[in-house]
Amino acid sequence: MENAESQVLETVPKKWKSKASKLLTHMRNNNPEITWSSKGELVLNKTAIPNTHAVDLVNDLMRKRTTSSTPNGWKQLADALKVSNIPRELVGNKDRWGYINAPLEDASPVTPSRRREKHQNLPIWVPY
């Protein structure tokens, strides 16, 4: 795990190193099911997610990049971060934050309150 984290910190731009370090620390301390393999692959609940890499995933969480495609495993990582109450400050990519902050799909929907119709309680006049 240290090797993957070191790789991430070596590859992020200088101005993002502090944020990347805090993000990795949050993952390590608040979500034990998120780890990295010796090859840098994302490991969730002791299962390696193939074709993923810590460098790509952390960089994707930190900032939206227009030149590269979406990395494999971003949704799985975002779902794991959703339950770890990750602070907004650590996720710079607005699209990823929107996904992480979206309500859980299995949550029961909120029923909107019914507005009283105008004249709802008025008596109905029936002609004689």
**59, two tokens:** 């960089």
Q: What is the pTM of this model?
A: 0.75
**Mean pLDDT score of the chain:** 83
The per-residue pLDDT for 114 is 53
Give the C-alpha distances (Å, rounded to integers) separating 62 from 12, 22, 66, 119, 122: 10, 11, 13, 54, 58
CA distance 37 to 1: 6
Residue 107 has pLDDT above 50, yes or no: no
Task: For residue 34, list its beta bridge partners.
Answer: 44
The 10 Å Cβ neighbour count of residue 78 is: 23
